[in-house]
A and B are shown apart, each in its own frame.
Chain A
Amino acid sequence: MNEIMDIPKVYTALAEWAGCLTFVLILKPRFSKWVTTGCMGVLLVLLYAVQYAIGVLPVSLWIPGMLIALGLMFLSLLICCELSLPDTGFIWAIAFLAGEFAAALEWQVYSFFYGMGFRAGWVKYGFLVVFYLTTFILFFHLESKRFQEQEKLQVTVKEACSAVVIGVGVFLISNISYVYTHTPFSGRMSTEIFYIRTLVDFAGVVILLAFQDRVQDLQVRQTLNSIQGILQRQHEYYLQSKASIELINQKYHDLKYQIEIIRQEPHQEMRDKYLNEIEEGIKAYEAQNKTGNSVLDTILTGKNIYCLQHDITMKSVVDGTKLHFMEVMDICSIFGNALDNAIESVEKMEDADKRIIRVAVFSQNDLLMIRIENYFETQLKVDGGVYVTTKKNKKYHGYGIKSICYTAEKYGGTAAINTNGQWFQINVLIPIPDKTGIDGKK
């Protein structure tokens, strides 16, 4: 029975190696085929050497030995695949447990047949080849399907840590019987021990695969959401440009008739008057904004067209050059949300004269100030220092200001809401990072 006691060390090394190999085959390699092959060859030799040493050396060195083997696996994944550190950790845990499971299952089944009298050499190696091949091919299929759409997991450090803890925990529980027979979690009979190990390893693999599914699902959903957001915005832009083209067509139409009238007008004085009127009209629709920041120009121009169509006066005094350190999406988020907020507020007022929005962007020392304010007449509700939205559907609003706050805080700044008389102000203060860009932006 002694021979059957435990998995031969070479089997363990092979299983660990196959676990890593599965992922190296699936994931995007960092180097050329030959370098990767070389790396994997070296890994196999090293893993075997470590496992051999573990088998020869006293049990007390089992843990350090295993740690070295685990470290080697981690390193090989990190070197051979183009992965981030947390991703490597996550994948490493799966690869390790898959290897453990394959080795445990094979040995459990083999030892059963060994007990029944199948003791020939070819049986031993036949089992090894058949079981390892089946297990890892199945494993390869399961994982390659998961990585079909996304090349990377992009797990957070926290998620990677959970995966590693699960992996190590499962390994310790499944192997505790081999190191210490006298614990509440140890089995005492070898077949029982084998079964415990296979079962626990199987559970571990299933848990990690489920975890991986969840992480990847979440990412798909997030990507979908942001794409939806972009599509929505593009659609809005489309509607806006359509509206402005219609506006221009209408103006051309008007202009044609006005020119006709001017032609027929005999008095020079009246003709001048008409021409001046036309000039005024054209100027009013020159909604161009040149701020020194092209993203901001686009946003302001877009919103300005909307304002012109809805009798809203939008007045901007803007130094766009000061926004150079901010990312496009963040500029969109701050100005888009704040202007939408202001527009929605002033639109409610009957008197078009009162529909005024003011935009100011300037810097003071190393501080960037973005101030967007609008005149208002309704009473604002304050709940615990937070302005409650006056919009009808509470569930969907109030996010605008939250999003501005979030963006400002990302840069170490803040968005403060203030009312100055009948003016509602959003003051976004952001520290301008040093030229080296150490602060504010990662």
Chain B
Amino acid sequence: MIRIGIIEDDPQYVEQFTGYIKKYAEESGEKFDIKIFSDGIDLVSDYNASYDILFMDIQMKLLDGMSTAKSIRKMDKDVIIIFVTNLPQFAIQGYEVEAMNYVLKPVNFFAFSQELLHAIKKLKSKTTFYLNIMQESKMIRLDVSRIFYIESQGHTILYHTEDGTFSNRDTLKNLEQKLTGKYFSRCNNCYLVNLRHVEKVDRNTVTVAGVMLQTSRPKRKNFINELAIYVGGEKG
């Protein structure tokens, strides 16, 4: 069930959007729960982070879309905001609230459904994935997104994570296979880096969660390419 909020003061558009979502649901088999707000103030007044996607009109009477989005971002980092506007230049600053996409009025089904599709894809990619590792004869589950980078030292693997460092016996090659498609990439022979945590790239180093790691010349090109695709896809 995907929870959608529509914040729009024009009832005609509200009707159109709900119609489009229903049509999309029929075509894709997705299930939606839709809530409607006629002004930004109604959404912000008792917001409880219970939405996955917000379609937000930019021009509204009491609280405009951009201000609403700013307030929402303070409470909810994850919700996907898609602006709806008839003036493109209002949406050009969407990056301030991580709203990288918008729909232009008058809205056609194709454009609307593409934005919805993008948002749903992004939602689905967020599902957490765990690695099970043995730690002092106990099995623990590591949330992959919380790993900064994985280091290989001889036959030991070190997992540097937000919750400290863990280790077990494994090979980087094996882990690399397990983590395919999970946004991990090798920056040299000893490190498998979580692209989510990359802060900085230089010609010879990459900074991951404050730690500077060396990149090797043969691995760098592929690493930075994968990083580009990750960063480009992340705010999609």
Contact = CB atoms under 8 A, between A and B. Distances in A.
A400 to B, nearest CB: 17
Contacts, number: 119
Interface residues of A, number: 42
Contacts of B101: 315, 317, 358
A219 interface: no
Contacts of A366: 199-201, 207
B232 A425 contact: yes
Contacts of A416: 225-226, 228-229, 232
B221 to A, nearest CB: 7
Interface residues of B, number: 43
B232 A369 contact: yes
Contacts of B99: 317
B156 interface: no
A354 interface: yes
Contacts of A280: 86
B229 A315 contact: no
Nearest to B87: A283
Main secondary structure of the interface of A (DSSP, over half): strand
Nearest to A428: B228
A117 to B, nearest CB: 72
Contact of A317 (B91, B198, B221, B225): B91
Interface of B is mostly: helix
A290 B89 CA distance: 7
A289 B89 contact: yes
A315 B100 CA distance: 10
A420 B119 CA distance: 12
Interface string B185-215: 0000000000000111111000100000000
Contacts of A429: 201, 224, 227-228, 231-232
A318 B93 CA distance: 6
Interface in A415-440: 415-416, 418, 420-421, 425, 427-429, 431, 439
Nearest to A362: B95
B108 A317 contact: no
Interface of B: 86-89, 91-96, 99-102, 104, 108-111, 114, 117-118, 121, 198-203, 207, 221, 224-229, 231-236
